[in-house]
Amino acid sequence: QTMFVRAHNPLGNADSGSFTRATLSSTPTAPGVSSVSSTTVNVSWGNNGNPGGTLYEAQLSTDVAFSSTAVTIIATVTGTTTGFANLATKTSYYFQVRSRNLDFIPSSFTAIISTRTSPETQAPVTAITAPAAGGYVTAFSTIQGTATDNLSGVTTTYVRIRRDSDA
Q: Which residue has the higher pLDDT, 154 or 143?
A: 143
Q: Which residue has the higher pLDDT, 42 or 159?
A: 42
C-alpha–C-alpha distance, residues 41 and 142, integer Å: 43
- β-pairing verdict for 32-36 and 41-44: antiparallel
pLDDT by residue (tens digit) across 53-87?
899 999 999 999 888 777 678 889 999 999 999 99
pLDDT by residue (tens digit) across 116-128?
998 766 666 767 7
